Amino acid sequence: MTAADGVAFFSGVQTVFSGVQTGGLALAADALQVLAAAVYLGGVGRLARKGRRWSRSSTACFLSGVGLLWLAVGSGLAAHDEQPTVHVVQHALLMMVAPPLLLLGRPVTLAVQASRRPAQVRMVKVVHSRVLRHLTNPLLGWLLYYGSMGAMLADRQVYDYLLTHPLAHDGSHLLLVVVGSLYWQPLLDADPSPWRLSPRLRLGSALAGAGVETLLGVLILAGAGAVTAGAVPAGAAFLAVALPTCGACCPALASSRGRRGRRRARRRTWTRPAPTG
């Protein structure tokens, strides 16, 4: 990496808090994030009033995920996402970091525990519905995840189109969060899901994905991807987010003990009605 590449990289980092987004869509996104955090904390408070505790680590994960969503779409990252490094980091946060943190917050389990019996029954039906089973198919999630990642970071035409069409660009942010959630949900197995993957399958999926991310990062570094100007710092930033995220998750994905514990806790959650007082 040359001195010019280093300057470009750090100038991109400095833009994070240099301009908070105030446009209509940005304010709507901020409002949704605040609402999500408020509803989540309201559920925690409802459980506390019934004498039941909620995991502090789950709360921390969910609020951290909401904070990272704001960092990606409401802070200076969004104000300067025409810069290649910032653009790549923004997409990586929306796909790789925020969704798993939100899922580790176990919002569905919290909603079930904090709800009255009729709402619990409706949520159980939705979770076990045929439509949700198809949408959360792990293979479909894997293909959508890495297909979207490749299209937005390796295809120059898609990259240029998103940068020149703000509405499509904002829509792509929502798509990345949804696709990221579909990919991470069966792997993390934090909330109830129609699919149950063995630790080997979950670890294998993550390692195969790490190979794809490494290849994509190398393509960006070489200037063969969607990014041409500033390719080296953009590729370095992508790998700096992607590979540590995979490395941090692999031990948990390979653990069968943690998975059995989550299953026991989930059986208690989904078979014991919440107090209705």
Q: Which regions in the chain score pLDDT beneath 70?
A: 1-26, 252, 254-277
3-state secondary structure of 94: helix
Exposed/middle/buried for 10, CB within 10 Å: 0-12, 13-18, 19+?
exposed
Give pLDDT, residue 252. 67
Query: What are the residue ranges spanned by the domains of the chain?
Result: 11-271
Contact 45, 113 (CB under 8 A): no
Rounded CA-CA distance 54/169 in Å is: 37
pLDDT of residue 274: 45
The pLDDT, as a whole number, for residue 258 is 47
100: tokens are: 């798993």
Q: How far apart are CA 59 and CA 71, in angstroms?
A: 18
What is the C-alpha radius of gyration for the chain, rounded to an integer number of angstroms?
A: 20
Helices marked H in 222-255 — which ranges? 231-254
The DSSP result for 34-79, as a single string, is HHHHHHHHHHHHHHHHTT----HHHHHHHHHHHHHHHHHHTSHHHH
Distance CA 113, CA 99 (A): 22
Per-residue pLDDT, 20:
52
Which amino acid, residue 136?
A: T
User: How many other C-beta atoms can be found within 10 angstroms of the C-beta atom of residue 241?
Assistant: 19
pTM for this prediction: 0.82
How buried is 57 (Cβ within 10 angstroms: 0-12 exposed, 13-18 middle, 19+ buried)? exposed
Tens of pLDDT, residues 78-113: 777 778 888 888 889 999 999 999 999 999 999 999
